[in-house]
Structure 1
Amino acid sequence: MAVPLRKLFVVGGSGFLGEWTKRSSRRHGPTTPARPADSPATAWQSNVEWVRGDSLRPETYAAHLQSCDAVVHTVGTLLEADYKRLVKAGSLCQAASGLIKSTPTTASVTYETTNRDTALCVADAAAQCPSVRSFVYISATDFLPLIDRRYISTKREAEVALIRHQEFRTLIFRPGFMFSDQQPFTVPLAQALDALGRLKRAAFGLVSRTQPLVASGLGTPPLHIDVVAQAVLRGLLNSKLNGIVGPDGILELSKGFKPEGPLESP
């Protein structure tokens, strides 16, 4: 059963997945994301109301939640480093710069605050708004090699806390590594992960392309962020959908949609 989606509140709207969620949702109704003041506006943004806020400070955005039907939380970090510099890198040298410029002294850039606490703060604020019927949290299916296990443990902690909310329907999307041809460094990394995953699946004689392998994200194929964004919107429009949506569910929801660029999903 389809439900109307009149206004969507995207947390992290100027980030990696947030941008694509807004673009994909433009035909469904107004969107209220956060955006840096110096970000240039484009034609598709005419249906977007921009809000500058801090996820950990509800007073900076709570008023804008009042008229929204759903919230999509896209804030997260794969590394406790300059991750935005990493995903926007156009070369390996630029990517290495993002890794080197780690900020351990910056308390806000931690797995706990970024992957968990921002979602819980926004959810608590959304729970005070009767108009909010759905809350989407972008989680992950598993941890990746060489990535701190706190990356996935903080996401699981957020999931448990969000599901306890009875004020709205909670949808938890668990994609594998997400990539986009608009974020150059993510493409070769996705290709490498996909190739390694195929080799490992062949070695273990596995058929499913989305089955986790030996506690490693290598068993889950990378997903284009357009595919994830489409799945999120279709999930919000389906009132019968609830709880956790894994890689297979994401592909099923986005069926018929093919993004431009390499590594298109089947």
Structure 2
Amino acid sequence: MAEDAYTRFFSLYEFFGIFLPGSAIIASLIPFLPKNPSTGSDLALAAVFLVLVIIGSFMLGQISHAINRSRLVRGEIFPSHRENFEQELDKSGLKTQFIHTFEDKFNGIRICNARSKYRYVIVQSYIHSNEQGRSRNMQAENAFCEGMSTSLFLISVLYSAVFIIDIIPIKEIGWFSYTDSELIISSFSEGFLLLLILITISGSVIFHKEAIKFQNYMGEYLISDFFAQVNNENSRGNVNTGESDGKSSENN
């Protein structure tokens, strides 16, 4: 079933893997707003603010996504999707059958038993081009957990910096003190701020563990989706061939 234009522009991956993690960072900035903002009931101003929030969520989500895809993070904190796919293929016992099916499906593209850096990309593109398969949803869920893990970590760093700057005894030289400001965060006690830091760090760890779990599942579903879609296409081809032969016999 083909997706409409809105779904193509705003896919599950963009929504869960980019927009929601970015929205979490935007929400963490609310305490830095003034306590008593001088805002009227101008609907146009509210609409502009909403648009800026949406754009900001995408921008910050893209930053979080870029951090997750960096070489420092990928492989050290989050395993590589390609390596996970190859490992699952080795463990499944289906590697030989997979290679034969792959070469039959994509005429002219031959891969040896050794690892191929294009194998994962081609299979993923094939599945996603048909807009089917459980692995697509699994990839979005994995991106969401990775994005939330990174976003919550960044939020914990932000709140920790505010807390440390406020408690060190150098306020007389003009350092920022959140308790002396007119911001919403000035009403937060040090204990409550420490609780927020603890919650964000714990959430980052939890989402990190979930991301690894979903990534392991994604390798399994990617292999299963490939075999299932090839089988479905072959079955439809056989049915169409049978119908064509039947019509030809009737005409004769």
Q: TM-score, normalised by structure 1?
A: 0.21
Q: TM-score, normalised by structure 2?
A: 0.22
Task: Identify, as 1 or 2, the structure richer in helix.
Answer: 2
Higher RCO (C-alpha under 8 Å, 6+ residues apart)? 2
